[in-house]
Amino acid sequence: MMPDSEASRFEPVIGLEIHAHLLTESKIFCSCRTSFGAAPNSHVCPVCLGLPGALPVLNRRVVELAIRAGLALGCTVQRCSIFARKNYFYPDLPKGYQISQYEQPLASDGMLSYETEEGQRTVRITRVHLEEDAGKSLHAGETQSRHTTLDYNRSGVPLIEIVTEPDLRAPATAGDFFARLRAVLMAIGVNDGNMEEGSLRCDANVSLRPRGETALGVKVEVKNLNSFRFLQRALEHEIIRQADCLEMGEEVVQETRLWNEARGRTESMRSKEEAHDYRYFPEPDLPPIEVSDEWISEVRASLPELPETRKQRYLRELGLSATEAGQLAEQADLAQFFEDTARTAGNAKTAAHWVMGEVTRHLKTDGVGIDQVGVTADALGRLVGLVDSGVISSSTGKTVFEKMYGSGLEAEEIVERENLVQIGDRNELEALVTRVISEQPDAAARVRGGHEGTLGFLVGRVMKASRGRANPKLAGELLRQQLRAPGVT
Amino acid sequence: MTERLTRTEVERIARLAHLELDDAEADRLTRQLGDILTYFERLREVDTSGVEATTHPVSAGPRMRDDQSRESLPRDEAVAGAPDAADGLFRVPKVIG
């Protein structure tokens, strides 16, 4: 490995190709199910097995979801686009060609724009096109077996391929972009974001050029980047490998390389030059895809708010911090839960605090999503309201929350039954404060002597003596008064 | 008029299509494919200015189906036509992944 200073003589130029399964019930050209994990070859038919004479019929929902993705990514959706055959031989491709789009893709010329710590970033989207997925090769018992076995359940599962312009300049930036794109695709209900099951996959094109140079260097395509970590690690490795080549005066070979996670390096696929001659031609078995203006408007009108837009709204209108806004806006269902809580509570900032604190902690411990949360947004909102208006202290709020969670009990019920209303009455609290001072003569003396830190300790004792019901601010005030400590208001 | 199709090109196309041609077949196909291309050269002489290019002979309109799944083939039937299969999986000579 070479030190950063040397590697940084070159600027990496990165573009991504993302394949995303579309969330349909049936495949793109036949009525077989798309569900993952079924018994091998139980979701196949003459069309997706490529049997002679079988003809494809396009699934309307596939087109609709692709339009959705195209619009969410700011693309122009073409009124007329065509399918093409991409010809190559591989056992997972039963027909000997993949039905894809080549010239005239469904959508093109878009962008994804978002806030980062370094400011606004815009990555241009070259195109979004439709294609069918291939089957799955299983190389089980790799050393002994003389066979490769094939499961065609995935053959014909609808995909969109999203191609970016080479606008990314660093592995971390590429990883961040991929995460943002994933969030968008999930938010609009196009893809489930599941990278382990392969429903979202990523390939990267990367080249280097001397800093300051505008012409692009020779690019290498890196495949098999099926997690954010793989993507970042593979790019880091590949950039160093190419920099080494260039430093030694060698040329980078234009090729496809596979990321080998176990070995921590990219490896050449050593495929013959000819394998890349796909001989695309228009698919004669499928008519052009015609999309009316009405259809596009309909899809556009049905698009939900995107995470980035939502984040901006939380920052601008609700006054949340960037961290809060970012985390709450990311997933639509969590965002909805937060907004419902905030509406009932009447205070977005306190609601955000509770959703990101107590609620998220519970979800994490239970290992579930917000769809299985143990409290309704309305009930939580009422609890937050009680805390926010000072009826109960925030530490009592936490106790009440624990009792509400999973029980269906209302905050008001618990507070009333257990007599938890905050002691905001001076006289009532005064007695408690006097008692604590007499019980803690040493601490009291230290506060009298001006030791500010010890005041907190005494406030804690008052809270404990009141079973969390004391208003901590008022308790502090009364302690100061009785001890004639500095800072008396 | 473009250049005539060469035998090297025919061999390359055959290789891409995984076709094995013996010498006689390669010669015959070079001639026949060449004739077809020559015919297309003649078609190119027709004045098509003002005619929109098309990839499909018919504009079928939106002939799409609804997103509804149906039963697939029974598993034994799915692999029945395969030269080699085991446990419901198609088998091919080992491919280096």
Which chain B residues touch A45 with a CB distance below 8 Å?
72-73
B42 three-class SS = helix
Note the pLDDT of residue A122: 96
Cα–Cα dist A90/A141, whole Å: 20
Tokens representing residue A234 in the block: 């593979």
Adjacency order of strands within the sheet including A281-282? A97-100, A84-87, A281-282
Tokens representing residue A206 in the block: 């990367």
Residue A228, judged by CB atoms within 10 A of its CB (0-12, 13-18, 19+), counts as middle
Cα–Cα dist A319/A316, whole Å: 6
Going residue by residue through chain A, which has 489 residues, state the pLDDT in tens, using 9 for 90 and above: 444 545 478 999 999 999 999 999 999 999 999 999 899 999 999 999 999 999 999 999 999 999 999 999 999 999 999 999 999 988 999 999 999 999 999 999 999 998 888 888 999 999 999 999 999 988 766 556 788 899 999 999 999 999 999 999 999 999 999 999 999 999 899 999 999 999 999 999 999 999 988 999 999 999 878 889 999 999 999 999 999 999 888 889 888 898 988 888 898 886 545 556 889 999 999 999 999 999 999 999 999 988 888 999 999 999 999 889 988 998 888 999 999 999 999 999 999 999 999 999 999 999 998 988 999 999 999 999 999 888 888 888 998 999 999 888 898 888 888 877 877 778 888 888 999 999 999 888 888 888 888 888 999 998 888 888 888 888 888 888 888 755 544
pLDDT tens digits, one per residue of B68-97 = 999 999 999 999 989 999 889 999 988 764
Which residue type does A181 have?
L
Which of A21, A101, A145, A149 has the most B C-beta neighbours within 10 Å, making it the best mutation to test the interface with B? A149
Cα–Cα dist A183/A181, whole Å: 5
Q: How far is CA A123 from CA A120, A227, B17, B56, in A?
A: 10, 20, 38, 35
Nearest CA in chain B to A141: B94
Shortest Cα distance, chain B CAs vs residue A248, angstroms:
31
Interface contact B3, partner A, CB < 8 A? no
Which residue type does A73 have?
L
Interface contact B65, partner A, CB < 8 A? yes
pTM of the model: 0.76
Shortest Cα distance, chain B CAs vs residue A254, angstroms:
20
Dihedral of alpha carbons B96, A36, A283, A296, sign:
negative
Backbone angles phi, psi at A462, to 5 degrees: -65, -45
- Which residue ranges form the domains of chain B, and what is each CATH number? 7-44 (1.10.20)
Instruction: Out of B68, B81, B92, name the one closest to residue A147 (CB).
Output: B92
Return the closest-CA partner of residue A468 out of A405, A430, A415, A427.
Answer: A415
Tokens representing residue A404 in the block: 């509400």
Asked if the model's pLDDT at residue B1 lies above 70, the reply is no
Return the closest-CA partner of residue A3 out of A252, A243, A267, A266.
Answer: A243
Q: How far is CA A91 from CA A49, A135, B97, in A?
A: 11, 8, 11
Interface contact B88, partner A, CB < 8 A? yes
Instruction: Out of B15, B59, B70, name the one closest to residue A287 (CB).
Output: B59
More confident site: A167 or B2: A167
Angle in degrees, CA A359, A414, A467, rounded to 5: 90
Cβ atoms A377, A333 nearer than 8 A: no
Note the pLDDT of residue A431: 87
Interface contact B60, partner A, CB < 8 A? yes
Domain spanning A426-484: CATH 1.10.10.410: yes
Give counts: helices (H), strands (E), chain A.
Answer: 17, 16
Distance between first and last Cα of chain A: 63
Domain coordinates in residue numbering, chain A: 4-295, 305-417, 426-484
ipTM reported for the complex, 2 dp: 0.86
Question: Across-strand partners of A417?
Answer: none
Binning pLDDT at 50, 70 and 90, where does residue B59 land? low
Strands A158-164 and A147-151: unpaired
Instruction: Out of B55, B72, B91, name the one closest to residue A42 (CB).
Output: B72
Shortest Cα distance, chain B CAs vs residue A34, angstroms:
9
Note the pLDDT of residue A3: 47
Tokens representing residue A105 in the block: 């893709």
A402 three-class SS = helix
A349 CB contacts (<8 Å, ≥6 apart)? A318, A319, A320
Instruction: Out of A31, A46, A148, name the one closest to residue B68 (CB).
Output: A31
